[in-house]
Amino acid sequence: MKDCPIRRPQPPKPAPRPDKVSLLAYLRLFRRDILSAQPARLYRAWMAEFRTPFFRSYLCNDPALVTRVLNERPDDFPKSNRIREGLAPLLGRSVFVTNGEEWKRQRRIIDPAFEGGRLKDTYPAMLAAAQAAVARMPEGEVEVEEAMSHAAADVIFRTLFSIPIENQIAAQVFHEFRAYQRTQPLLNLAAFLPLPSWMPRLHRRATKRSAALIRGLITQLTEARAAEIAAGTAPDDLATKIMTTADPLTGERFAAAEMVDQVAIFFLAGHETSASALAWTLYLLALHPEVQEEVAEEARALSEAPDFAAVARLRRARDVFREALRLYPPVPMMVRENRCPEDFRGRKVAPGAQIVLSPWHLHRHERLWANPDSFDPDRWQTEAGRLSSREAFLPFSAGPRVCSGAGFAMVEGPLMLALLARAFRFEPIAGREPIPVAHLTVRARAGIHLRVFARPA
């Protein structure tokens, strides 16, 4: 009798809403979770139009349209101010929300810190954070989202300011950010209503309080670093590199207030997104123990303290991490605004429309991926998978606005994953299936709970 293949459960995804709902119902759904607020047809549609009394929105899954917006004509599709409304309390005018010449100037100062050679320089701090994560991981039932948030925050503080998460200010920032990300939706009421510029913005009291505390703590760190730079005693880390880099066109450096904005987005982009991706990766490995063993076996071939070159040998861990980014892209949607009249697939799009690019739907699109809802890390070694990734894989955006830390994340993720899988075995817990929701990033509604067992030394 031929053995039957083991049927693994499909990775969870939110149930879609009915195709037609009232505007009020849609706003309520969107406020609670932008993923379950979308209809099922978006997983097959090349484009969809949504109308409100105040603006029109076009979700684009057609790879040609995505390329036009992100790669070919990015200046004609700036970031929408509707997204900025929700993030302004924490991010100010950081590189994540600005446009035009202001954004270009910020990138000219920031990008040199994340160039290829700098990755090797930050690797020892990254490795130390990964080893600390292994040392902290308890056995038994563990909520791994929180554990991975702790680990990712440690990476950021070690690489940015040369301090571990145990540092008093670092620990305070981490604690406040956990509170902030649970109270802050990706879009607030101002994203839907055309509020006049003089009207106070509607942010939750807890959100504003946490943002103010985080920015105050970051100010302490940046002021202390500025003093070290002036005294010639600053460590050669990312903060020092960014604070001492001058814009090659103007010779200007970031002012103190600007640096606070940038550190806030480094922490958001580098900690929140990595934590989301790592937690979902561990859950997927728990669902697929045979893949988990492959990752662990690959990691056992490394030394106890692998050097930077060893990361290139983590091919299975890298493919698993990519597949987790495909199924659970940390940033599920990006919103742009068109400045010019456009023709999208024969439909006239007037200036001022909201152009929504959704990695969540692109990564699970039924016309662009084979078995899009299945966990299949093998797809990254096939020609079909590579073609799909070129057309429909945007975990770090694309074009000039691609995430500066994309290379950083693709070293951190496989490294952290390999060391954890080498040291521990992760199993799902019956009745504790995580439900994806989108706040600042794609997280689980009640966390991701796994059972953790230490492997023999």
For residue 106, give the CATH number of its domain.
Answer: 1.10.630.10
SS3 call for 259: helix
pLDDT attached to residue 173? 87
- Does residue 35 lie in a domain region? yes
Mean pLDDT of 383-406: 95
Mean pLDDT of 7-23: 81
Mean pLDDT of 27-43: 83
pLDDT attached to residue 198? 42
d(CA 114, CA 16): 38
Structure tokens at 417: 């994953």
Mean pLDDT of 271-282: 93
At how many degrees (to 10) do helices 289-300 and 406-423 cross? Answer: 100
Question: What is the identity of the amino acid at 331?
Answer: V
Residue 189 pLDDT level (bands cut at 50, 70, 90): very low
- Does residue 156 lie in a domain region? yes
Which structural domain, as residue segments, surrounds residue 109?
23-44+65-454
DSSP 353: -
Buried b (16+ CB within 10 A) or exposed e, 117-128: ebbeebbebbbb
- Does residue 1 lie in a domain region? no
**Model pLDDT for residues 342-353, shown as the tens digit of each residue:** 999 999 999 999
Mean pLDDT of 254-280: 90
pLDDT attached to residue 210? 82
- Does residue 3 lie in a domain region? no
Cα-Cα-Cα-Cα torsion 124, 129, 134, 140, nearest 10 degrees, comes to: -170
**Model pLDDT for residues 133-182, shown as the tens digit of each residue:** 999 999 999 999 999 999 999 999 999 999 999 899 888 888 888 777 66
| Helices within 38-80 (DSSP H only) | 63-67
**Model pLDDT for residues 372-391, shown as the tens digit of each residue:** 999 999 999 999 999 999 99
- Name the more confident of 200 and 233: 233
Give the Cα-Cα-Cα angle 268, 271, 272 (nearest 5 degrees). Answer: 65
Residue 263 in contact with residue 239, Cβ under 8 Å? yes
**Model pLDDT for residues 91-109, shown as the tens digit of each residue:** 889 998 899 999 999 999 9
- Report the residue count for the chain: 457
- Does residue 7 lie in a domain region? no
- Does residue 416 lie in a domain region? yes
- Name the more confident of 357 and 24: 357
Give the Cα-Cα-Cα angle 188, 190, 194 (nearest 5 degrees). Answer: 155
Provide the 10 A C-beta neighbour count for residue 446. 13
Residue 184 pLDDT level (bands cut at 50, 70, 90): low
d(CA 385, CA 407): 20
Residue 126 in contact with residue 412, Cβ under 8 Å? yes
Q: How far is CA 427 from CA 14, 141, 327, 360, 454, in A?
A: 22, 9, 19, 26, 12
Structure tokens at 212: 């103010």
pTM: 0.92
Mean pLDDT of 60-81: 95
- Does residue 16 lie in a domain region? no
In this structure, are strands 436-438 and 47-51 parallel, antiparallel, or unpaired? unpaired
The number of folded domains in the chain is 1
Whether residue 7 has pLDDT greater than 60: yes
- Does residue 208 lie in a domain region? yes
Whether residue 206 has pLDDT greater than 50: yes
Residue 201 pLDDT level (bands cut at 50, 70, 90): very low
Q: How far is CA 28 from CA 21, 185, 325, 358, in A?
A: 11, 12, 27, 20
Q: How far is CA 198 from CA 23, 194, 195, 201, 202, in A?
A: 26, 12, 8, 9, 12
Residue 199 pLDDT level (bands cut at 50, 70, 90): very low
Reference 419, options 345, 324, 320, 314; nearest CA is 314
Give the Cα-Cα-Cα angle 143, 147, 408 (nearest 5 degrees). Answer: 135
d(CA 134, CA 420): 6
Structure tokens at 206: 């807890």
Residue 80 in contact with residue 58, Cβ under 8 Å? no
Whether residue 1 has pLDDT greater than 50: no
What is the average pLDDT value for the chain, to the nearest integer? 89
d(CA 157, CA 173): 10
d(CA 214, CA 143): 24
pLDDT attached to residue 85? 66
